[in-house]
Amino acid sequence: MKYKRILLKLSGEALMGNRQYGIDPERLAEYAKDIKQITDKGVEVAVVIGGGNIFRGVAGASNGMDRVQGDHMGMLATVINGLALQSALEDAGLPTRLQTAIKINEVAEPFIRRKAMRHLEKGRVVIFGGGTGNPYFTTDSAAVLRAIEIEADVILKGTRVDGIYTADPEKDKEAIKFNSISFDEVLSKGLKVMDTTAFTLSQENQLPIIVFDMNKKGNLLKVVSGEAIGTVVNV
């Protein structure tokens, strides 16, 4: 395996499957199988999931809701998704821990860096919920922050697109895919990989990002094995 410890970033929307909102148990089960494939090979896995399938703080704010209140609702949505993924992973036979940036002691551990790293060393999948615990920060920022804290080798951003393109490939059929690209090129070309705060944090800490299609079975194993799947963003 090319990577020993990874942080997998999933969007909340990815959990919807073909539904309009909420969580698709079949999609969750597929993700759990993919994650088990790599943990069986000795890869240590941490996961951050968004909450967009349930609630988006930014969307709430655009409809007149207080932004801070909306962001706190979004954080709770990520915890709900974390619990759902935890259940699916345990059904697949994987030991897991859910840690949250906001204290919900009855359902999850608080985020403690040393504890998280110990869980990973023992082969448990660690799910980080609650974002960074602060409003105005996205789950992209939470993913990069946690990846740096646990000393992950790479951030794997699982999406429904198989990499980074010159334009949105779902809208522009002539969009060209990058196999690899530098952080500086992404910024100069104005390409959307993560929000700027998260992306800059990753760049400053020289933490590579791989954007790939998580919905294709076996892709996660291929990426972790070092196969040329998706787009690598490097220094």
Domain boundaries, the chain: 5-234
| Confidence (pTM) | 0.95
Average pLDDT value for residue range 208-233: 96
C-alpha 93 chain-centroid distance? 21
Binding residues for ATP: 9-12, 52, 56, 159, 165, 168
Model confidence at 78, pLDDT cuts 50, 70, 90, reads: very high
Gap between the Cα atoms of 209 and 231, Å rounded: 8
In order, the DSSP letters of 188-209 are: HHT--SS-HHHHHHHHHTT--E
- Mean pLDDT of the chain, nearest integer: 95
Binding residues: 9-12, 51-52, 56, 71, 132-139, 159, 165, 168
174, with CB counted inside 10 A (0-12, 13-18, 19+), is exposed
Binding residues for UMP: 51, 71, 132-139
User: What letter represents residue 135's amino acid?
Assistant: P
Average pLDDT value for residue range 134-162: 96
What per-residue confidence (pLDDT) applies to 56? 79
Bridge-partner residues for 47, per DSSP? 8, 127
Superfamily of domain 5-234: Acetylglutamate kinase-like (3.40.1160.10)
User: What letter represents residue 110's amino acid?
Assistant: P
Which whole-number Å values give the CA distances from 170 to 10, 41, 145, 161, 196, in the listed order?
A: 19, 34, 30, 8, 22
Asked whether the predicted pLDDT for residue 170 surpasses 80, the reply is: yes
